[in-house]
A and B are shown apart, each in its own frame.
Chain A
């Protein structure tokens, strides 16, 4: 489905590129978003518009400032670049506007799959997809005579062989830093075990289940093969470990795959052996232990219609199909833009999309669950408490937060 829709979108793009016009706007545009290369490209594209000022604030702290920046009237930011997890915070507080009229007027080039509709209203326009998947050293796997793992069980077996043969002491990598990263790894693993975060249709937590315990046990087993500092390793630090040649197998973001070996001082065998595969399943499950993500942009509610239109036009210019003619830009992400042709770095994300990986849950209270997971799981990972205790703590912490925010009585 994913590939097919992209292919038809590609055909459409060839028809529409010739009609591209210069971008002309008449009102203020102000964008807030994350800072990775693909978003920098989109921001620069929006800034190419003439006629009024376009400012961007692209920072890793975007999640802390986008909501307050859009709550004022008029809003400071006319557009926030978000993902399927972070759009929820903006929707919860009702600070973004439906885009149906603007899509009808200026969005002819958009593929239907780019439109994020909630309750029948277009609330965001997606421009890239992302997922975590296997990244490995093919030379090391050849050395031990093992195929790239398709399940976490195979990965653990391979890790053991690598250690036993004395090739690497800690062959597994992973962004297990306490907080958001650790929680994200649990979310992946829990979904892989077919777990449900909440009792169906309610905000009641249900992570303290068999799936939860199995997910934690698998994470613990993985951590036995990781650098002992793993609770402080975010994706930057994990990448550094891989680049230094200390890691042979890891679950890593697709958006980082293209630049994984592009740093100074990366040994030649790491560059040559670098390979990508799809996300792994766990415990005999059929759904990969990973989540699918999209990144997209929104338009603020508390701004004039003129500013909203200018913002829409500028953002459309940021994601116009022509940007893909630059090979560097095409490599930056798995673009959802019409005309995108997958590069080598995109293999993992495509494999994730095609193997039934589920999107990160877009529930109003999922953010609270993610925070509770990030805070409460590190005790278990350090061996200070049992899996049941850790999951009971998660549920207790989540329940207190959900009561405060009015999701639970």
Chain B
């Protein structure tokens, strides 16, 4: 393609990317470096149905003057990134100095919201992603061997977990695993412990969220791999069969290498998705046991007093996190691309 042609071909896409991807990121980065002005407080009398009281309130006129003078707010640089709600530099240093061993340091770290969220997010990402790839592949191989007549029906049911909105899906499971729910009671019976509650233990809550994550995302991997299986070179499989390869050998040496680019694709998408884990935490009401960066952003924005700068800083950290997670896969894809051309 001529450079000129390519330029005009790419221009709309490029503009859209600038407008909808680059500009918001720039705005979020800006927002994270500015904080609201110092509040000018004054004591006023408040009256209502329950009588009058002297209360502190914001002096609107004085605050408005500050806002007019500097509409972006107060420049705070990296202060918000370093405060207790985010990287917590001072708190980490203090925990390191006072810790009596690495375990003690880790428990001090897990008391800080950012590191606690990272601990769950990374555990979730790095258990759910491989598990859902393996499960998705197994389902795809199984479905591929089915009779054409029942295939459609099985595919439809396999896709159901993905069709259900994550929030609704997790809410349904949330009630099933309640200590008085169907699954919760079954687990109590299996463990012969009537006091067992999945929602009251951090470990079990994590396990539950991970199982949910795999259940919810496996259909995506399944559908991609199933599509890949349709392009399987018949002659290679037949050659392998003639050479006496077992079914496992065929999968190991023919099918998996053939599907490898798709595995990379699924891993890429799912790493990104799982790092942003959010809905199950809300749906399972699990924030006492597990939080994620996305949940922190939601929490900062949702309170009665919004913390936009804090939410912006967490968003930037999330973007950086996604970039770091994806870099090995991206580098690999780039190398593959280079070696082929």
Chain A residues close to B by CB (< 8 Å): 1-2, 63-64, 67, 84-86, 88-89, 91-92, 94, 113-120, 126, 129, 177-179, 201, 203, 227-232, 234, 244, 292, 294, 336, 353, 359, 361-365, 367-368, 370-371, 375, 378-379, 381-382, 385, 389, 393, 396-397, 399-401, 403-407, 409
CA distance A403 to B90 in the complex (A): 15
Chain B residues close to A by CB (< 8 Å): 35-39, 41, 43-51, 53, 55-58, 60, 63-64, 74, 76, 80, 83-85, 91, 111, 113, 178-180, 195, 197, 199-200, 202, 284-289, 299, 301-307, 309-310
Check A375–B285 contact: CB distance below 8 A: no
Q: Given contacts A91-B57, A201-B43, A404-B83, is CB(A371)–CB(B303) below 8 Å?
A: yes
Check B288–A406 contact: CB distance below 8 A: no
CA distance A67 to B285 in the complex (A): 25
Check A85–B39 contact: CB distance below 8 A: no
Check A406–B38 contact: CB distance below 8 A: yes
> What chain B residues lie within 8 Å of A244 (beta carbons)?
180
> What chain B residues lie within 8 Å of A396 (beta carbons)?
84, 91
Check A231–B48 contact: CB distance below 8 A: no
> What chain A residues lie within 8 Å of B51 (beta carbons)?
1
Check A371–B305 contact: CB distance below 8 A: yes
28 A-B residue contacts at CB 8 Å? Answer: A63-B302, A86-B304, A91-B57, A92-B39, A114-B49, A117-B46, A126-B48, A178-B285, A201-B43, A229-B179, A232-B284, A232-B285, A234-B285, A292-B50, A364-B57, A367-B303, A368-B305, A371-B305, A382-B200, A382-B202, A385-B111, A400-B83, A404-B307, A405-B305, A405-B307, A406-B35, A406-B38, A407-B39
> What chain B residues lie within 8 Å of A120 (beta carbons)?
44-45
> What chain B residues lie within 8 Å of A232 (beta carbons)?
199, 284-286, 288
**Which one, B49, B58, B63, contacts A2 given CB within 8 A?**
B49
Besides the contacts A294-B50, A406-B38, what 19 more A-B pairs have beta carbons closer than 8 Å? A2-B49, A84-B48, A88-B305, A91-B57, A92-B58, A115-B48, A117-B47, A119-B46, A126-B48, A178-B285, A178-B288, A179-B299, A229-B199, A231-B199, A232-B286, A370-B303, A379-B111, A397-B113, A406-B39
B184 → chain A closest CB, angstroms: 9
Check B197–A401 contact: CB distance below 8 A: no
B42 → chain A closest CB, angstroms: 8
> What chain A residues lie within 8 Å of B304 (beta carbons)?
63, 85-86, 88-89, 367, 370-371
B245 → chain A closest CB, angstroms: 51
B34 → chain A closest CB, angstroms: 10
**Which one, B64, B83, B302, B305, contacts A94 given CB within 8 A?**
B64
